[in-house]
Structure 1
Amino acid sequence: MEAQTNSSFFNRDLSWLKFNERILMEAERDTVPLLERIKFLSIFSSNLDEFYRVRMPVLLALEKLSNREDNDIQIEADLLQSANNMIAGQQQRYGKVLKGDIIPGLKENGINFIYGNPFPAAIVKETSRYFLSQVLAFMQPVYLNRDTKFFPSNNELYFLITLKDKDDEKQVILNIPSNELPRFYKIDHAKESFVVFLDDIIRFNLNSIFRDAEITGCFSFKITRDAEIDLKDEYSGSLSEQLEAQLQKRDAGLATRFLHQPGIPGSVLVLLKKLFNLKKASMVEGGQYHNLKDFIGFPVKNPDLSNAAWPKICNTDTITGTLTEAILKNDIIIHTPYQSYDSVLRFFNEAAVDPDVQEIYLTIYRVASDSKIINALISAARNGKKVFVLVELKARFDEANNIKWAKKMKAQGVEIVYSVTALKVHAKVALVKRKIGDRLLYTGLLATGNFNESTASFYTDHILMTANKAILREIELLFIFLAKRVKPSSSDLINFEHILVAQFNLQQKFIALIDREIDFAKSGKEASITIKLNNLEEKVLINKLYEASQAGVQVTMIVRSICRLVLGLKNVSENIKIIRIVDRYLEHGRIFIFNNLGANDVYLGSADWMNRNIYRRIEVCFPVYDEKIKAEILDIVNIQKQDNLQAVIIDEQMENVPIKETKPLIASQQSIYEFLKA
């Protein structure tokens, strides 16, 4: 099949913004409990901040390149403008649902969310007391002049305050300490509750700071700064080099957005542009309040306004004896967060104290800030076991946490290895080696998500516990390779027959599995593929799916976020269906199902189909051989394919199209929970 043109692929950044729109749609739905709608507003805001940090620098650089007369590289026309228009429309919808639905809904339930106006008399004394006793300690005013040296931190909140002191006009930057104090303050008075912004508690008590001056203005703002990205993950050749050159011209952490409350005097904006080096930033007028991701900590608890609780299922509670003995008999799978992560903690805890355990191996990409798993590894090392941990220091935004734990483990005798500079290790695998008499026994964990008990409470993932010798021997070979700290080359390639490892055989194996379904379809046999991913971007594999569709293979994709595959292309993608599911949990597990004439080859793993996963990382996908577990995975995926409440179809225009509700009504996450509970 000929390679598809650029018109056969959605833009990755616009597709990502469409995913964020899907989050916003949940906040707009009146069938979603009120406090859950507030959480979706928080997630939307958090995602948008990350977009400005990670993606907007690239769009700005692309825009500059596209305006150069000497550039013959094809760049999508008006990409930056399209993104800005999409964001502006979504923010209007955000404000509409917050002011028109959620705040009135809170009021109906006795919760007065006060913003923008002076506080009611009933709470003035309490808020002033809180300011003077708790907030004032964090106030750090900075008076501005042309020599001021002040660097506003990324995404932190500030006020620009204008003062009149006798005949002098002054400008002051005042921090809003939302990282040190809760963003919202709740006061119960009589039979009502009042919730106010920390911002307003400061705003209405400014006279306690500036006693001898007239306060003539108070305007909130924040600056979003770029985060380092690897352009080779997505661009190649000349374009990648030109983008790199553009971005290298900028100071580290240069501002990409200056978001401010309307009304700042023009002369003051000119001063701020110069002082804060904002000449390349988008100057965006927003509302009075920023960082609305802080809604995740909205201080109201009301079960009537929240999702019904789903108590965690612990499917290893019935095990008699050790977990290891159970794994040696049969594979075990844990589906978080429906099922308790305690089983995973038990796996490491038992290994740490088991006298037969000699060695423990683990990859770390993102771990909890108070990781119980790492504490178990430290105990294992202190108990005399060899503990080997591959720590990925390049996990964006988790670098500091990973460094902290790496130092702590190393100090306690854990062997720490960092990944090679040019290659991220994103695989989620663990191996435990026991020696009982003359026998070596291997048990292992292979997962679709991080070894992180915090995110396991709201990420849907799959963790396979296995003693399969063939699989775990290959995991051991992978750890031996990772310890060398080298990039894979032709002389290093390991002949993996069971697991799929990016840089070795992953892409080739997926292509071979798709080709087999194509051959079945061409010979008139049943052929189908079902793939669940977080992101679908890489063109070689998308083109292979187009080829499968052309051959008559029925392809179903469940894609949470970025999706570059275009539906509805005549004679290209007519046999492909794509759905996106957003609900109370974040869909995160990757699942790959190839019909194989009804035998169903099933793989799970860490790899999305993005350039970075395929070409720039070590990823592991693994087969499900246990027939009972395979059937369970198939049942779970079939439930998701039938979702007609929380799923939308991604159409040929990249829009999130709700599925026509037909009975039975199925919200897949609730159905999966009931299925696993039964």
Structure 2
Amino acid sequence: MEPVEFYNRDLSWLSFNERVLMEATRLEVPILERIKFLSIYSSNLDEFYRVRMPVMIWDVELAKERINAQQQRFGEIISQQILPELEAMKIHWRYNMAIPDLISGQVADLFFNEILAYIHSVCIDDDLSSFFAENNKLYQVVILKNRLGQERMELISIPSETLQRLYAISADGAQYIVFLEDIIKNHLYYLFPEDEIEGAYNLKITRNAALKIGQEYEEDMTIALEKQLEVRDFGFATRFLYEPGLPLRNLYRMIYALNLHKAAVVQGGAYHNLKDLNTFPLGDVYAYPKWPAAKAVSIAEKETIFDHILKKDMLVNVPYQNYDAVLRFFNEASSDPKVEEIYTTLYRVASNSRIVNALMTAAKNGKKVMVLVELKARFDEANNIKWAKQMKAAGVKIIYSSIDLKVHAKVALVKRRHADELQYLGLLATGNLNESTAKFYTDHILLTAHQPMLWELESLFGFLSKKKKKPALEDNISFEHLLVAQFNLQQMFLALIQREIDHVREGKSAGITIKMNNLEEQKLISKLYEASQAGVKVQLIVRGICCLIPGVAGLSENITVRRIVDRFLEHGRVFIFNNNGADDIYMGSADWMNRNIYNRIEVCFPLYDIALKSIILKMITLQLEDTLQAVMMDSSLQNVSVNAPSPRRSQEEIYHLLREEVSLQGIMPV
């Protein structure tokens, strides 16, 4: 039987979420962080049901089987590990347990003083034409019997978006942690005083998140998106999640009353929306120890960052190094009288973005500022619309991508006049220009004055300003330094892989090391298979989706795939080609997914500075040697622990490596 050459992308993603769940079991991880990994797992799964489940065709049943097994494991982690450990610390998390009499008075005070004002319910048996069960909102169905023995069901809306989800209550030297919905359940006697309460069960409904924007809105994307966002949470139901014990007759009545016939009906645990565990009320003493970020570069008191970049490329490696140099790049651009023009792309922006404020200041200072705002960044559309409107009002020229093409590149260009010479200064990154995510996403930001590379970046901004769907011959744009999706990115990566194949056949040094978030595109995967068959050693670090199957004899026996999950989210994309020992290194915004290769503008950029290349090679080597947080993917894409006599944790070693690099430059670590 011929081996299957490509793994299913959705099953692969579920394998990644299983790896997140594994982190919640590791006793070496502080307990608050393990609880947060449970939160991340839950949040990821919600998004899977909103985004992927509606479009899945194959392997739906297998996906559900794996999800069910994972959720069973989720419950076991809480009951067999988290709860006993908390109990030993006199922290009593009342997870699926009655509220004890010891704290019932304090709980009653919370209910009547803080919660009651937000409680309302609807009768399931009444006309529900004016009621709509919201996406991922918590509800509690209460089964009641009146004095005549007649049964009815009331649906209570749990106000977890307005109030906190978990309450910490102190009593007798211990702490009790109670769910909001349990506090409400404890006071149903007050809400329904004339009825006998037969049961109360938690539930939620997940809805499709797809947005549909017609071509007629091409000229005013904001109007189209705002209209779509208003109805996004009213999409068709993809999952109906309910608490065990809900009688079947009542379950079927709810499915009929709430029009949930097409949804996957899933029996879950006692609680839903456990992404809210990210606010679990435990102190920092139960979290990871602090790793203060180092400075990325030392700039003299009277020197500007532009002066520094003109002398030498800079590389900021967040979150190990702080974001100050990136913010300073935009801040200086906004006020430097020599700066004439600023261009940048924005994909996901911080809710209180200092970068955007700098761009608005630059426009007010009379500089030409052009910003490509990608309004179609999923779940960030509303925030991006808000900023686009504010920038436009401040005088910034706003450009939106075409409906069929996302701009995912993370780049900026500054034009600065100095002694009648126009200097180009650029920023090219692997992650979003977002100072919030820079605190926990591992990314790389290159600040450079490499003029030929930045001339190419200028050409790209010129293309983007025309809002074309695809490049055409008349655009007359070519790239020698940058790899740009829709122009040369896929072709160049194929050529770089082919060069390694040629080198190994010629007896030269060869090898490929790639780190990315997701790997799906079959043409590039096939080329990696070809490299493996030729004898090229291929080392992959893939955090999430991986459709390449490693370790298959005659196909991919020279390919290894690692997955790293730790305190920081691995996000940077790094592409290293041995080139007979000369190491060509590219970094950038592009994963090897179909969407990145065929439907987006992506930019990958070369790293030319020898010292910076050395740092990246050291960082990637540490990740390849990780034995604690890395797992190896086998031919079934299972997460296999790395067995090694000496434990190594790459993120911790990278943190210390970059602090040592700072010391060598004479910079005081922060």
The two structures share one fold, judged by TM-score above 0.5: yes
Query: Is 1:155 paired with 2:172?
Result: no
For the 8 Å contact 1:54–1:229, the answer to whether it is kept is no
After TM superposition, give the deviation of residue 438 of structure 1 in Å: 1.1
Deviation at 1:202, TM superposition (A): 1.2
Is the Cα contact below 8 Å between 1:550 and 1:572 reproduced in 2?
yes
- Alpha-carbon displacement from aligned partner over 1:130-186 (angstroms, at most 9, x marks no partner): 122221221121122352121111111001112223324322111111111111111
User: How many Å apart are 1:50 and its aligned residue?
Assistant: 1.0
Q: Tell me the residue number matched to 1:144.
A: 124
Query: 530, 548, 554: which is aligned to 2:531?
Result: 548
Conservation of the 8 A alpha-carbon contact between 2:135 and 2:233 = no
Aligned partner of 2:168 in structure 1 is: 186
Q: Distance in 1 between matches of 2:476 and 2:572?
A: 27
With over 3 angstroms needed to count, the CA separation of the structure-2 counterparts of 1:5 and 1:367, relative to structure 1, is farther
What is the DSSP-based 3-state SS (H/G/I as helix, E as strand, rest coil) of the residue aligned with 2:24?
helix
**SS at structure 2 position matched to 1:222:** strand
Which stretch of the first structure deviates more once superposed, 352-361 or 14-23?
A: 352-361
Structure 2: how far apart are the matches of 1:229 and 1:565?
A: 30
Paired residues of 2:551 and 2:560 also in contact (CA < 8 A)? no
* Structure 2 residue matching 1:161: 3-state secondary structure: strand
Q: Residue 134 of structure 2 contacts residue 233 of structure 2 at CA under 8 Å; is this kept in 1? A: no
Partner of 1:92: 72
Of residues 29, 32, 35, the one that matches 1:32 is: 29
Partner of 1:257 in structure 2?
Answer: 239
| Match in the other structure for 2:227 | none
Does the CA contact (< 8 Å) of 1:18 and 1:656 recur in 2? yes
User: Per the alignment, in what secondary structure is the counterpart of residue 139 of structure 2?
Assistant: strand
Show the counterpart of 2:650. Answer: 668
Q: Retained in 2: the 8 A contact 1:261–1:285?
A: yes
Counterpart among 3, 18, 21 of residue 21 in structure 1: 18
1:578 pairs with 2:575: no
> Do the aligned partners of 1:115 and 1:200 also contact (CA within 8 Å) in 2?
no
5+ residue gaps, structure 1: 63-75, 231-249
SS in 1 for 2:385: helix
Residue 417 of structure 2 corresponds to residue 420 of structure 1 = no
SS at match of 1:7: coil
Distance apart, 1:5 and its partner CA: 7.7
2:151 & 2:408 partners in 1: Cα distance?
54
Where does the alignment leave 5 or more consecutive residues of structure 2 unmatched? 213-231, 661-670
From the superposition, tell whether residues 475 and 6 of structure 1 become closer, same or farther in structure 2 (CA, over 3 Å).
farther
Match of 1:432 in 2: 414
| Alignment RMSD (CA, Å) | 1.7
Residues in 1 aligned to 2:283 and 2:308: alpha-carbon distance in whole angstroms: 40
Aligned equivalents of 2:146 and 2:392: distance in 1?
57
CA distance, structure 1, for counterparts of residue 431 and residue 155 of structure 2? 42
Per the alignment, in what secondary structure is the counterpart of residue 446 of structure 1? strand
Tell me which of 90, 95, 120 is aligned to 2:100: 120
Deviation at 1:490, TM superposition (A): 3.0
CA distance in 1, matches of 2:558, 2:98: 59
Instruction: Return the alpha-carbon distance in structure 2 between the equivalents of residues 498 and 315 of structure 1.
Output: 25
Establish whether residue 50 from structure 1 lines up as the match of residue 66 from structure 2.
no
* Aligned: 1:81 with 2:61: yes
Distance change (3 Å), C-alpha of 1:317 and 1:524? closer
Query: Which residue pairs with 1:200 in the alignment?
Result: 182
1:493·1:504 contact (CA, 8 Å) conserved in 2? no
- Kindly report which structure 2 residues correspond to 1:267-282, keeping only aligned pairs within 5 A, or say none: 267-282=249-264
| Residue pair 1:225, 1:255 contacting (<8 A) in 2 also | yes
Cα offset for 1:556?
A: 0.5
Q: Which amino acid aligns with 1:335?
A: N
Give the drift of 1:493: 5.4
Secondary structure in 2 aligned to 1:476?
helix
Q: Which amino acid aligns with 2:71?
A: Q
Stretch deviating more after TM superposition (491-500 or 469-478) = 491-500
1:234 is matched with none
Cα shift readout 1:8-65 (whole Å, capped 9, x = no counterpart): 1111111110011111111111121111111111111111111111111122xx2xxx
What residue in structure 2 maps to residue 507 of structure 1? 490
Return the alpha-carbon distance in structure 1 between the equivalents of residues 266 and 613 of structure 2: 51
* More displaced stretch, 485-494 vs 594-603: 485-494
Deviations 1:474-494 (A, max 9, x none): 111111110100112332351
Structure 1 distance, partners of 2:437, 2:481, is 28
Shift of the alpha carbon at 1:512?
0.7
Distance 1:673 1:382 in 2: 39
Cα deviation code 1:491-527 (max 9, x no counterpart): 2351111100000000000011111111001111111
From 623, 635, 639, give the equivalent of 1:656: 639
Q: Is the 8 A contact 1:327 1:443 kept in 2?
A: yes
Instruction: Confirm or deny: 8 A CA contact 1:645 1:661 kept in the other structure.
Output: no
Asked whether the 8 Å contact 1:146–1:275 carries over to 2, the reply is no
Provide closer, same or farther for how the CA distance between residues 318 and 435 of structure 1 changes in structure 2, counting only shifts above 3 A: closer
Question: Does structure 1 conserve the Cα–Cα contact (< 8 Å) formed by 2:209 and 2:233?
Answer: no
Give 1:226 shift. 1.5
Equivalences for 1:467-506 in 2 at 5 Å? 467-491=449-473, 492=475, 494-506=477-489
CA deviation map 1:530-584 (0-9, x unaligned): 0001001000000000111111111100000111111222221111111111111
Partners of 2:106 and 2:191 in 1: how far apart?
Answer: 18
Residue pair 2:207, 2:233 contacting (<8 A) in 1 also: no
Decide whether the 8 Å contact of 1:648 with 1:659 is kept in 2: yes
The 2-side partners of 1:425 and 1:572 are apart by 34
**Once the two structures are aligned, what percentage of the paired residues are identical?**
55
Cα distance in 1 between the residues matched to 2:233 and 2:608: 51
Task: Check 1:294–1:493 CA distance in 2 against 1; reply closer, same or farther (3 A cut).
Answer: farther
SS in 1 for 2:431: coil
Could you tell me which amino acid in structure 1 is paired with residue 333 of structure 2?
A
Match of 2:626 in 1: 643
* Distance in 1 between residues matched to 2:95 and 2:654, nearest whole Å: 40
Length, aligned pairs only: 637
> Is the 1:502–1:617 Cα contact (8 Å) retained in structure 2?
yes
Look up the equivalent residue of 2:251 and give its one-letter code.
L
In 2, are the aligned partners of 1:159 and 1:219 still within 8 Å (CA)?
A: yes
Name the CA distance, whole Å, in 2 between partners of 1:203 and 1:302.
30
Matched, 1:610 2:593: yes
Q: Which residue of 2 aligns with 1:301?
A: 283
User: 2:223 is matched with which residue?
Assistant: none
Is the contact between residue 334 and residue 365 of structure 2 (CA under 8 Å) also seen in structure 1? yes
